[in-house]
Amino acid sequence: MKVLMINGSPDGKGCIHTALTLAAEVLNKEGIETEEIHVGNKDIRGCIACRRCHEIGKCVFNDLVNETAPKLAEANGIIIGSPVYYSMPNGTVLSFMQRLFFSCGCDLHMKVGASVVSCRRGGNSATFEIMNQFFGINGMPTVPSTYWNDVHGYKGEDVLEDLEGCETIRNMAANMAFLIKSIRAGKEQFGKPDVKHTQFFNFIR
């Protein structure tokens, strides 16, 4: 069992890394492997809607997105982390996630997803909501916690002083481990839900 952790902060050892490390500690204790992929300081361009990925099985721009796609296919869950930029996620991590989810071509149904946000002061809930949009549309259960998964701080070490934030992240990770194990057991006993996605309706004709 494995969880991918996407660090969307330009600072590879900043607040998001600290939060992801807290989550990894809990997941590892539960026997779940973790891998942190640092995205926030990479040159990741946005999707241009060429749809070539549907023909060649990967994004036409051969960068970290295509390197990550096979890891996502094998993972049981994913955590997306981003600092707040104007009450939104970092543009780089958004471009990365949009291209990854659109082009990967893998079955994301019943993989488990969670988002983690860091901010100095505000904008966290709006950022959190945006990143969670990736999960529902792909049939991915979103992991709950005892609060929204956000931590406060300006530097990585500041996060550790946010005791409620740290507790929230640890609780999220514990819930994620439970969901991954439960879904795995459920698949073995009952099989995956039989869902179809064949209907596409355009409101403007």
Amino acid 205: pLDDT = 62
Please report whether residue 179 resides in a domain: yes
Please report whether residue 204 resides in a domain: no
Number of domains, the chain: 1
Q: What is the CATH number of the domain that holds 178?
A: 3.40.50.360
pLDDT band at 130 (very low <50, low <70, confident <90, very high): very high
Amino acid sitting at position 179: L
Residues of the chain with pLDDT > 90, as a percent, come to 94
Please report whether residue 198 resides in a domain: no
Please report whether residue 53 resides in a domain: yes
Q: Is the pLDDT of residue 138 over 90?
A: yes
Q: Is the pLDDT of residue 98 over 90?
A: yes
- pLDDT (tens digit per residue) in 147-193: 999 999 999 999 999 999 999 999 999 999 999 999 999 999 999 89
Token pair listed for 131: 């990143």
Task: Look up tokens 């099985």; give the residue.
Answer: 57
Q: Is the pLDDT of residue 15 over 80?
A: yes
CA–CA distances in Å: residue 109 to residues 58, 72, 193: 19, 12, 9
Please report whether residue 79 resides in a domain: yes
Please report whether residue 149 resides in a domain: yes
pTM of the model: 0.95
Amino acid 56: pLDDT = 95
CA–CA distances in Å: residue 20 to residues 5, 26, 166: 7, 10, 10
Q: Is the pLDDT of residue 122 over 70?
A: yes
User: Domain containing 11: what range?
Assistant: 2-190
Please report whether residue 24 resides in a domain: yes
pLDDT band at 203 (very low <50, low <70, confident <90, very high): confident
Please report whether residue 197 resides in a domain: no
Q: Is the pLDDT of residue 12 over 70?
A: yes
